[in-house]
Every structure is written in C-alpha cells, then in structure tokens.
Amino acid sequence: FVEQAEWSMLVQLFNQRLQERIQSGELKTISGGTARSVKIAPDYQSLFFRVNARDDNMQDAANALMAELATIDQHGFSAEELDDVKSTRLTWLKNAVDQQAERDLRMLTSRLASSSLNNTPFLSPE
C-alpha cells in the first residue's frame, strides 16, 4: 500500500504540474495529457504518459514531455507542490473517516473500480 501510495502521489504531482504549465502557456506544443501508474502484478508496475499535441505536432509534444521529465528528475518538485498534494490526500483521508457510516455497497464498489482505473490507492479508515 505504501509503495502504491507513493507512486500515486508522484503521478498526481506530475499531472498537476503538467496541467499548470499547459494552462500558463509554458508548454506551447501540448494541449493536454496525463500520467498513470499501474501495478499489474506484485513484481510488475507500468508507468504511462499520454500527451495531446497541438497542431498535430507529436514530435515537439514528445520533446516537451521529455524535457519536463528531465526537469523533474534534476530538480524534483517544489515544497509548495508537495504541500498541496499532501493536503489533498489528507482531505481525502479525513473525508473517508467522516463519511464511513454513510458508505453503502454501491459507493464501495464505485470507489474500488475508480481506484483501480485511476491508480489511486483505496483510502479507507479501516
């Protein structure tokens, strides 16, 4: 669970940064995108990146993605970015505890499916 939570947080950090840089206009060749991490088996994990190229220019979009990954590899994430993702995750956990009594089987099934599809750990107070 801990390893999966760490991967999930890294993916969330990357996705937030990518969206912020797209919206600010810093990534001019990418119009959207996302990263996903999927644990397929106990000893097999995959990391996927998807970008939408502006003006059908995939080469420049791929180069921009690689440059962004290199920047993260070299400099990491800022304290502000880390605090933001920690705050979001803490809110999710608090809400899970607060709403524990209100959960029903449909919600549980939905959360399990969403957790699996979106590669976010299933957060439960139990």
In this prediction the pTM is: 0.72
Distance of CA 32 to the CA centre of its chain: 14
Number of domains the chain contains: 1
Quote the pLDDT of residue 3.
Answer: 75
Q: Which domain holds residue 107?
A: 2-118
Name all contacts of 96-105 with Cβ < 8 Å and 24+ positions apart.
96/123, 96/124, 96/125, 97/125, 100/125, 100/126
Question: Could you tell me if residue 126 is inside a domain?
Answer: no
pLDDT at position 1 is 60
Q: Is residue 56 part of a domain?
A: yes
- 92 occurs within a structural domain: yes
In a domain, residue 124? The reply is no
Whether 68 maps to a domain, the answer reads: yes
pLDDT of residue 23: 95
Using DSSP's 3-state secondary structure scheme, residue 22 falls into helix
Tokens of 88: 């979001």
Does a structural domain hold residue 125?
Answer: no
Q: Residue 19: what pLDDT?
A: 94
Evaluate whether residue 51 is within a structural domain.
yes
pLDDT of residue 98: 81
- Is 48 a domain residue? yes
Q: Show pLDDT as tens, one digit a residue, over the chain (126 residues).
A: 667 778 888 999 999 999 999 999 999 999 999 998 887 777 888 889 999 999 999 999 999 999 999 999 999 999 999 999 889 888 888 887 787 777 666 666 776 777 666 655 555 544
Q: What is the pLDDT of residue 103?
A: 66
pLDDT of residue 14: 94
SS (H, E, C) 51-119: EEEHHHCHHHHHHHHHHHHHHHHHHCCCHHHHHHHHHHHHHHHHHHHHCHHHCCHHHHHHHHHHHHHHC
Q: Quote the pLDDT of residue 80.
A: 94
Residue 74's pLDDT is: 96
